[in-house]
Amino acid sequence: MSGQLKEVRLRIKSVGTTQQITKAMKMVSAAKLRRAQDAITQMRPYAEKLQEMLSNIIGSVDGNIGGGLNVERPIEKVLIIVVTSDRGLCGAFNSNSIKLAKNVINEKYKTQYEKGNVSILPLGKKGWENFVRNGYPVIDQFWTIFSDLNFDNVKVAAEYVRKAFINKEFDRVDLIYSKFRNAATQEFVCEQHLPIAKSKAQTQSNNDFIFEPSKEVLIQELMPKILNTQIFKGILDSNASEHGARMTAMDKATENAEEMLRSLRISYNRARQAAITTELTEIVSGAAALEG
């Protein structure tokens, strides 16, 4: 019986230690989430307006402009940019991004993948590890981007993608990331990055632009900057989503640890009461035997 009590005490101590760790991780993630949420909240309206403006301009002009970034080619070679995190313990955050990427490959680019014409550009250690382990063609130059997350580092990756598309190394580039909604909700999306899509709803007001300097010069100057901004926005979205997912996961883990501790304490008290009852019974039986 004493051995059973010792085992339960050790489990209570172990679960209590784990609970302290999950509480600390939740607090750290909450602090990081506030900063990440502020960053994407400030960035999103600017990036979305730039994208809308670029799509409207592309839709209002004809022909090849901006160095071919708007040219639709037969889709033979595909690049998929997948944004994950460097660390785990954030629920299903990483697995959902990776799962979406694999679904896109199997459903949208199955023919290209069977020909060996689909490449993955992972941004984040978890995605890189998964795709390498499963034998996908991986471009492994930028997966460490979260070790020093800033616009300049993201710009290097974005320019690599843009030049590869211009050089016809890829005919289509998709960006997969997690769109931050709130701490408990993330929306995993796949967006067309290149070629630049035209606005689906063109109106006369959208087409009424006055260009200064010339249309060609302006678009060629704006396109790379806007494309860099779109990838940076996707990374900031995923960064905020990661911290939100980790905070939620650690909060749930803390609650589960509390429930486990409650159950273990009940089991410990029952075992202790059983041990005391057994000892009392033995004492009473021994005294009765002596009297007899």
Q: Please give the positions annotated as active site.
A: 90
Beta bridge partners of 263: none
Give the torsion through C-alpha atoms of 50, 56, 58, 60, to 10 deg: -150
CA angle 224, 93, 196 (to 5 degrees): 20
Contacts of 136 by beta carbon, 8 Å cutoff, 6+ apart = 118, 120
Burial degree of 291 (CB within 10 A; 0-12, 13-18, 19+): exposed
Residue 179 three-state SS = strand
Neighbours of 70 (CB within 10 A): 22
Give helix 2-60 / helix 215-291 axis angle, nearest 10°: 170
Please name the residue that has the structure tokens 């993948």: 113
Give the torsion through C-alpha atoms of 125, 158, 226, 131, to 10 deg: -40
